[in-house]
Amino acid sequence: MQKIRYSRYFKTVFILLDVLVIAGVFMFFFLKNNDYHSGQDIWEQNILSIILLTLFWILLSGRTKLYSVARNLTYTIYLERLVTHIFIFIFGVILLAKVSNNDFLKMDRFYISLNLFFLLFIIKSIVFFTLKYLRILGINYRNIMFLNDDSSTEILRNILNERKDYGFKIFEYPKEERFNFEKLIDFWKEKGIHTLYLSSTGFEQNEEQEIFRLAERHKVRVSLIPSIVKNNFFQYDLGYIEMQPILVRSKFPLDYLTNIILKRTFDILFSACVLVLVCTWLFPMIAILIKLDSKGSVLFLQKRYGFHDEVFHCIKFRTMHVNDDSSKATTKENDKRITRIGRFLRKTSLDEMPQFINVLKGEMSVVGPRPHMLLVDDFYKLKIGRYSVRSLVKPGVTGLAQVNGLRGDTGNMEIKMKKRILADAFYVKNWSLSLDFVIILKTVFLVIGGDKNAN
């Protein structure tokens, strides 16, 4: 029997919880400035304000997808939606305060906004992680299967096996029975399969058509896995000419001039603040430690591919003993070339701090795909079809892949690199300023706590 997906019933509860928080904060500040015996007109006006704010919150969620919390949604993306939603909602609170006749709302609008931000942020984060924890415990899982094996299914299988919090239970279908449709149906019924993941390779057209027909008949959902190596599907969106669906070339967020200006303005302001407020005292300290630890220059310049594959010199603190292989060989676990202070700098990502100079020069951005060594880029460009997506935006001091643990040169590098490209492609297609803020926030926590994946 298929497991009941309890979370589908939670959406209404979550909305009601948020409405209670909004109404509670609103009424707290109202009663703080008034009493229970305030005039009926004032009470009616405030109840109307609460209703308007509640409707605005719910309608806004349709745009920000705040309640579309898929089981495979990462906290980074959820946080981006949450921050965007709350900021827009708070703007609505401030706007209501401007046009309202409520004196307390005009006086306390910033305190109300601050309390709403932190309360909603904390409560919704707790709810998110509670759902994740329940799925780790095996509650509310979904039965799935793979029907064929290739590089794309291998990556997805690897992700779902690692992320128990997604709540997927994989049932292995015997390979010798792959094309026996009757036994396939029996397998679906016996295991209660909810979703069948099917790659675009390995089956003849008539076999695929039969699989789709049987899946539809037996209420099994089919999710197609496009080839990571061959397809550039991320560059296309589904469009329509009348009722005929067509794939049209995507226009990415950073293709728009307003977004380019917004991101560049943020890059200049943020990097200037970091260089003035932090690097003016941090750089001399690190420089002294590097000099005391080993011979050689403090800074290390290495050629990297940037925007549209233009080569630039990426600036870093030197973390290795001077050697001839720094541009020819990637680092390994317990690499003897790394100095003692260099290991600390890599662990805390402080070796990347001089790259804020690259940001000011316009060669890099604060957030974007991390630049790789030229030989690494040249090698993987030939193996991964979507690798060139990285060059559609400026490389970043930090990036979505890095804050999600896809860093370092150890383990199965081909699998890890494909996952990085998936993260980079997602960033290019879904960029927003709030997503940049979330990635920066997660980077700060990694710098403070140390990154276990750094080497």
Query: What pLDDT is recorded for position 369?
Result: 92
Name the residue with higher pLDDT: 382 or 310: 310
Q: What is the value of pTM for the model shown?
A: 0.75
Residues sharing a CB contact under 8 Å with residue 238, sequence separation 6 or more, in sequence order: 245, 246, 247, 248
Pair of tokens at residue 151: 């590089």
**Max mean pLDDT range (13-17, 64-68, 260-264, 308-312):** 260-264
Angle at 363 between CA 362 and CA 369, to 5 degrees: 120
Mean pLDDT (whole number) for 249-272: 91
Angle at 52 between CA 47 and CA 55, to 5 degrees: 125
Taking the CA atoms of the chain, what radius of gyration do you get in angstroms? Answer: 26
Query: What pLDDT is recorded for position 104?
Result: 64
Name the residue with higher pLDDT: 103 or 281: 281
Mean pLDDT over each residue of the chain, to the nearest integer: 82
Q: What gap in Å lies between CA 153 and CA 329, rounded to an integer?
A: 30
Residues sharing a CB contact under 8 Å with residue 334, sequence separation 6 or more, in sequence order: none
Task: Give the CA dihedral 204, 208, 209, 211, nearest 10 degrees.
Answer: 140
Query: What pLDDT is recorded for position 6?
Result: 52
- Is the pLDDT at 124 greater than 50? The verdict is yes
At 238, the pLDDT band (50, 70, 90 cuts) reads confident
The percent of residues above 90 in pLDDT, for the chain, comes to 20
Among 229-233, 238-242, 243-247, 445-449, where is mean pLDDT lowest? 229-233
Q: CATH 3.40.50.2300 spans which residues of the chain? A: 142-227
- Per-residue pLDDT tens digits for 387-411: 778 888 999 999 998 888 777 665 5
Is residue 303 within 8 Å of 395, Cβ to Cβ? no
Pair of tokens at residue 299: 């800074």
Which amino acid, one-letter code, is at 10?
Answer: F
- Per-residue pLDDT tens digits for 288-311: 999 888 888 889 898 999 998 899
DSSP three-state, residue 221: strand
Strand partners, 313: 303
Query: What pLDDT is recorded for position 96?
Result: 77
Mean pLDDT (whole number) for 319-334: 71
Pair of tokens at residue 267: 């890059």
Query: 311: how many CB neighbours lie within 10 A of its CB?
Result: 11
Q: What CATH number was assigned to the domain covering residues 142-227? A: 3.40.50.2300
